[in-house]
Chains A and B, each alone.
Chain A
Amino acid sequence: MSLGSRALAVIEPVPLAPHDRGAERHGRARRRRKALAPYAMLTPLVLLILGFVAYPVLNVVYYSFQNYNVVEPFLNGFAGWSNYSTMFRHDPLFWTSLEFTAKWVFAEVFLQLVFGLVLALILNSAFRGRGIARALVFAPWAVSGVLTTTIWLLIYDPQAGLIGYLSDLGLTPHGFTILADTHTVFWAAILAELWRGLPFFAIILLADLQSIPSELIEAANCDGANAWTRFRYIVAPHLRDAVILSTLLRCVWEFNNVDLLYTLTNGGPGTETTTLPLYIARQAITEHNFGYGSALTMAGFVILLVFSIAYLKFSKFGASRGYAP
């Protein structure tokens, strides 16, 4: 799901409500009840977050120092750093999954950003039927990872799939299973995920494009700016923060999302397309090795945290707010 897009709308600091003048006229008990009101309203939210996000996070820390395997309960108990030393020293799949995750996230976010920007620029110009065009090209936004897999399996099937037409044209050998070949599986998965992910950037960047004051564009036109100068000196600086934030959100999202790869390639052929979270999911689902899975999860947390902080620092998020270069 591309729900992360919503953060853009709400990330601005919230101005506080004006001081409530009515309160001064009432007694102390009333005032105390008033002071408690926001806390009462927030109780369900806070309890749910504490119980089902904060507590599980602490659990992950705890389990990562335990031997905890549902299949081998007799070995359960304190493990010290052994899960971590296994991970760093004796588990080549940890390192290859990290390498693939980096490749996957970078390629996916880069392609989605570039094509999403182009699509947003197209959809921001005036033409007949723009509303229906938007609705149609944004449609994959609402499609789940499993449904994406379903759709692209129908395309990639060597016998019945659309790809069969490529074979008829002589572009690929007949009966070529694109998802079983280590050279093609990466790009096949990238294409499927790009299909689903492109609308995310297009929607966010289009929203931001529409918030450019039209006076700026008109003024630039008066000064004789052409399309490229307009883009370079008005549009690009205006989009800067939206691009930084949406790429970060998308990186985190693509890092964590396993639905598509789990169902399309299941990390294969072999372990060719196994991302770290997919590896974690497999530890939980098929190996039932909760202790080791938790240690892998900790690695994922730390990587995301360090990456996010470094990214925001390095990109100087929020540094430019003006339109001038």
Chain B
Amino acid sequence: MSAAPLGMTGELARRWERSRLYLWVPLGLFMLFTLVPFYWMIVFAFRPDGSTHPYPWPVTLANFKLVWNVLGFGVFFKNSVLVGVGTLVGVNVISALSGYALARFSFRGRGFLVVGLLCTQFVPGVMLLIPLFIIFRHLGLIDNLVALVIADTVFQLPLTTLLMSGFIRSVPVELEEAAMVDGCSRLKAFRAVTLPLLRPAFVAIGSFAFVGSWNNFLFALIFMNSQDHFTLPVGLDYTIGEFSVNFGALAAGGVLAAVPVVLVFAVVQRYLVQGLTVGAIKG
């Protein structure tokens, strides 16, 4: 990346090299492209109705009061948290169980299972909307948040299972064996030795699961009927349709939907690059 543009020679090329403009200019453009849209939403959310200033001043919380109390975002927010936490727990527990089996045992059908899990990535939720709707209707779970927890969990599990089994493999099996020699059962050895070492795995996978469920739109749109069971994305879609004039309210709803995932993202973003790197090196 550090080559001087064609035709630049001598002093000019050295100055170009030293200024590192070839780095800062594109980076600045990427930053603008990423951050201006966020900034613009924040401006809309915090400035008073009717203001056209390109900055949120004077600051008002009127938009937030409106969406939280009147438009039902308080309820949507609560529903999103419930479904997100349910999915987080379900995904972590089930992928720890099955990830351990994949990492520590050799058994018949193991390869078939791994291939099967990868194949599910080509069968995404949109394509299964119709049969899933029918299944949940049979189970009496339409307009019930449990349906969302199940659906969100299922579609996260294949990858989180494989990811968790990778994390478990990276904990030396000798540690567990040593504990078992000392008289631990396999379960106790896992709980006392491996589990504490898997904390980063639970944080990373839990965050993925939470963000995935927090952002899921179509399942909530189709499986939930009453406004009491809407999640934030459905609430936003509803606001886009109903109140297309009230941009302040729309932006405030958007900020409410953005804050939790951005916070979670701030926690996991260092795992994102590092986690992937570890996996890549091992191959």
Given contacts A52-B132, A122-B23, A136-B35, contact A154 B247 (CB under 8 A): yes
Partner of A144, one of B107, B166, B215, B274: B215
Q: Name the segment of A75-83, A87-95, A199-207 touching the other chain.
A: A199-207
Q: How far is the CA of A37 from the CA of B102 in the complex (A)?
A: 11
Pair A227/B1 contact, Cβ less than 8 Å: yes
Residues of A within 8 A of B214 (CB): 144
Give the complex CA separation of A115 and B217 in angstroms.
27
Chain A 177-190, CB-CB to B under 8 Å as 1, else 0, gives: 00000000000000
B154 with A49: CB separation less than 8 A: yes
Chain A: which residue is nearest B273 at the CB level?
A207
Q: Does B70 make an interface contact (CB < 8 A)?
A: no
Question: In the assembled complex, how far is the CB of residue B8 from the closest CB belonging to chain A, in whole angstroms?
Answer: 13
Q: How close is B246's CB to chain A, nearest CB, in angstroms?
A: 10
Interfacial chain A residues near B95, Cβ < 8 Å? 45
The smallest C-beta distance from A17 to any residue of chain B, in angstroms, reads: 5
Q: Does A217 contact B (CB under 8 A)?
A: no
Contact B165 A14 (CB under 8 A): yes
Within 8 A of A (CB), among B11-56: 20, 23, 26-27, 30-31, 33-38, 40-41, 44, 52
Tell whether, in the assembled complex, residue A10 and residue B163 are in contact, meaning their CB atoms are under 8 Å apart: yes
Nearest-neighbor residue (CB-CB) of B253 within chain A: A150
Q: Mark B182-216, 1 if CB is under 8 A from A, else 0.
A: 00001000000000000000000000100110111
Mask for A205-245, Cβ within 8 A of B = 1, else 0? Answer: 01110110000000000000011100100000000001000
A154-177 Cβ-contact flags toward B at 8 Å (1 or 0): 110100101000000000000000
Residues of chain A with a CB closer than 8 A to B101's CB: 37-39, 41-42
Chain B residues near A154: list those with CB within 8 A: 37, 40-41, 44, 247, 250-251, 254
Tell whether, in the assembled complex, residue A160 and residue B247 are in contact, meaning their CB atoms are under 8 Å apart: yes
Q: How many whole Å from A24's CB to the nearest CB in chain B?
A: 14
Q: B236's contact among A35, A63, A147, A253, by CB below 8 Å, is which?
A: A147
The interface residues of chain B lying within 8 Å CB-to-CB of A110 are: none
Partner of A203, one of B40, B250, B276: B276
**Among residues 87 to 144 in chain A, which have CB atoms less than 8 Å away from a CB atom of chain B?**
115, 118-119, 121-123, 125, 127, 131, 133-144
With A3-B208, A9-B279, A208-B280 known to touch, is A142 a contact of B262 (CB < 8 Å)? yes
**Complex: A151 Cα to B40 Cα, angstroms:** 8
With a cutoff of 8 Å between Cβ atoms, the chain B residues found around residue A146 in the complex are 215, 217, 233, 236-237, 257
Complex formed: what's the CA distance from A46 to B112 in Å? 12
Q: In the bound complex, do residue A53 and residue B123 qualify as a contact, i.e. CB atoms below 8 Å apart?
A: yes
Q: Is A56 an interface residue (CB 8 A)?
A: yes
A105 CB, min distance to chain B CBs, angstroms: 14
- Give the residues in chain B near A253, CB-CB below 8 Å: 124
Q: A48-B157, A52-B132, A147-B257 are in contact. Are A263 and B237 (CB under 8 A)?
A: yes
For the complex, give the distance between the alpha carbons of A9 and B233 in Å. 29
CB closest chain-A residue, reference B207 = A142
Q: Is the beta-carbon distance between A60 and B34 smaller than 8 angstroms?
A: no
Report B128-139 CB contacts with A as 1/0, cut-off 8 Å: 111111110000
Interface string of B75-92 (1 = CB under 8 A from A): 000000000000000000
Q: Is B278 in contact with chain A by the CB < 8 A criterion?
A: yes
B residues within 8 A CB of A5? 272, 276
Q: Is A195 an interface residue (CB 8 A)?
A: yes
How distant is the Cα of A37 from the Cα of B57 in the complex, in angstroms? Answer: 62
- Chain B contacts of A49 at CB under 8 A? 116-117, 120, 154, 157-158
Q: Which A residues touch B59, using CB under 8 A? A: none
A125 touches B23 (CB 8 A): yes
User: Nearest CB to that of A301 among chain B residues?
Assistant: B127
Inter-chain contact B276/A207, CB cutoff 8 Å: yes
CB-defined contacts of A53 to chain B, threshold 8 Å: 120, 123, 128, 154-155
Chain A residues within an 8 Å CB radius of B216: 1, 144
Closest Cβ of chain A: how far from B161's Cβ, in Å? 6
Contacts of A263 in B (CB 8 A): 217, 236-237, 240
Judge whether B169 is part of the interface by a CB distance below 8 angstroms: yes
Closest to A127 in B: B23
Chain B residues lying within 8 Å of A249, measured Cβ to Cβ, are 121
Residue numbers in B under 8 Å from A115 (CB-CB) = 30
Contact partner of B127 (CB less than 8 A), chosen from A16, A138, A144, A300, is A300
Q: Chain A, 6-24, contact with B by CB distance < 8 Å: what is the 0/1 string?
A: 1111111011111000100
Whether the pair A150, B217 counts as a contact (CB closer than 8 A) is: no
Given A1-B211, A284-B222, A207–B277 Cβ distance below 8 Å? yes
Q: Assess the A141–B276 pair: CB atoms within 8 A.
A: no
Residue of B nearest to A305 (CB): B122
A3-B31 CB under 8 A given contacts A135-B266, A139-B265, A211-B281: no
5 closest pairs, A vs B, by CB? A9-B279, A144-B215, A207-B276, A59-B131, A56-B131
Contacts A121-B1, A133-B27 given; 16 further ones with Cβ under 8 A? Answer: A1-B216, A4-B121, A6-B162, A6-B208, A9-B166, A37-B186, A38-B105, A42-B101, A134-B269, A136-B34, A138-B269, A144-B215, A146-B217, A154-B254, A259-B218, A301-B122
26 A–B contacts from the bound complex (CB under 8 Å): A6-B162, A8-B280, A9-B163, A10-B279, A12-B279, A45-B95, A46-B113, A48-B153, A48-B157, A49-B158, A115-B30, A123-B27, A127-B23, A137-B34, A139-B262, A142-B215, A144-B216, A145-B215, A146-B237, A157-B247, A207-B277, A242-B280, A253-B124, A256-B126, A294-B130, A304-B122
